[in-house]
A and B are shown apart, each in its own frame.
Chain A
Amino acid sequence: MILLDLFIGFLKVGCFAFGGAYGAIPLIRDVVMSYGWLGEEMLTYMIAVSESTPGPIMVNLATYIGSSQAGFMGAVVATLAVVLPSFLIILLVTSLLRTALKNKYVQAILRGLKPCVIGIVLATGIFMVLKNCFGTVSAPNVNVRSIAITAALFAAMFGYKHFMKKKLSPIMLIVISAILGALVYGI
């Protein structure tokens, strides 16, 4: 039953999504791949769309994946499931367990979770960049155009930071990459 799968899948995401939106992306990727809901391509496209539209990225991804699998009801179920754990936890923390988070054992667990999430996000980033340029182990595919775009985007990001003294916004990076993609892959 797809609605139940969506609910359970996104409940898992909601329960383990530490470290903000990007912390949740490897998790969502995991769940989506294991149920076979979307291909890697579509998921990556949707991450970009979520980044460029208003609202929390996690909620956006849940809505999209739900809708792609089971229409409007799927979207509703997935969105509610991803939000439910944080909603309940905040209610609990603010009404009953004000001190629970200060508990030393809870703190010890959190000290382990946070670096783990960082490692997972780092690995996902490295893997995605490498895969775009060189393909995978089972299907190697050295793509000169992709390598050129990757280099150009890194240059744009570091150049902007160096000369403007602030970070290039993610939306700007996505816009630049879209223009480069249309030009370079179109040739």
Chain B
Amino acid sequence: MNILCDLFLTFAKIGFFTFGGGYAMIAMIENICVENKKWITHDEMMDITVIAESTPGPIAINCATFTGYKKAGFAGALAATFGIIVPSFAVIYLISVFLDNFLELTLIANAFKGIKIAVGILILDAAFTMLKKMHKKKLPRAIMACSCAAMLCINIFSLNFSSISLMLAAAAVSLGVFVLGIAPEQKGGGAK
């Protein structure tokens, strides 16, 4: 089979059968691309996972782009990336067409009110998982606490301040601390 077709179909399969986002997908990509197809090595897979964590965007997309590029250059990267997007695009597009009518049923609307509560809890749970993995040093802790407090104020008082500005500020503080070389005795704070 043509390698581009193979990349597209393989990643479409991965995209269609993984629920629960990025990390579930990494396991599947490892299984298929490293062990079955031998498109990339285990070390490269580890590498790309680290890169994916330091670059923005969905992790699954990062992995697909990387594998496709390794295997067949730019065209390969395109084929793999499209492969992983197309299934979820199709499913969600269909849902988006019907969801509004669906929500007019009282039973479904009530179920979704319950689901809304679960989503809040899931986000909280994700935050705690990330917190556990965070470096236990003063500066990251201070940045984390300040961003959390600032974001809470923004939400509670519906302030018009975007989380992107908050991220840029945190990046600037961290870079500033590094350049000035005051990291070891940094007392934190000022990371609004």
Q: Total A-B pairs in contact (CB under 8 Å)?
A: 368
- Please tell me the number of chain A residues within 8 Å of chain B, measured between CB atoms: 104
- CA–CA, A116 to B163, complex, Å? 9
Within 8 A of B (CB), among A22-50: 22-27, 30, 34, 41, 44-50
Contact between B163 and A105, CB atoms less than 8 A apart: no
Where chain A touches its partner, the secondary structure class is helix
12 intermolecular pairs with C-beta atoms under 8 Å apart: A53-B95, A93-B55, A113-B171, A116-B144, A116-B167, A146-B117, A150-B117, A173-B118, A174-B118, A177-B118, A178-B112, A184-B110
Given A68-B96, A115-B134, A186:B114 Cβ within 8 A: no
Residues of A within 8 A of B55 (CB): 18, 86, 89-90, 93, 101
Task: Determine if B17 and A120 form an interchain contact, defined as CB atoms under 8 angstroms apart.
Answer: no
Q: Which residue of the partner chain B has the closest CB to A113?
A: B171
Chain A nearest CB, measured from B151 CB (Å): 3
Interface residues of A, Cβ cutoff 8 Å to B:
12, 14-27, 30, 34, 41, 44-60, 63-64, 67-68, 72, 75, 79, 82-83, 85-87, 89-91, 93-95, 101, 104-105, 108-129, 131-132, 136-138, 146, 149-150, 153-154, 157, 169-171, 173-174, 176-182, 184-186
State the main secondary structure of chain B at its contact with A: helix
B95: chain A residues at CB < 8 Å are 49, 53, 64
B29: Cβ under 8 A from any A Cβ: no
B74 in contact with A59 (CB, 8 Å): no
List, in ascending order, chain A residues with CB within 8 A of B91's CB: 53-55, 60
B residues near A157, Cβ cutoff 8 Å: 121, 125
In the complex the two chains form, is A154's CB within 8 Å of B146's CB?
Answer: no
Query: Contacts A94-B66, A125-B120, A137-B156 given; 10 further ones with Cβ under 8 A?
Result: A56-B58, A86-B56, A86-B62, A87-B57, A115-B134, A118-B131, A123-B149, A124-B127, A181-B110, A181-B113
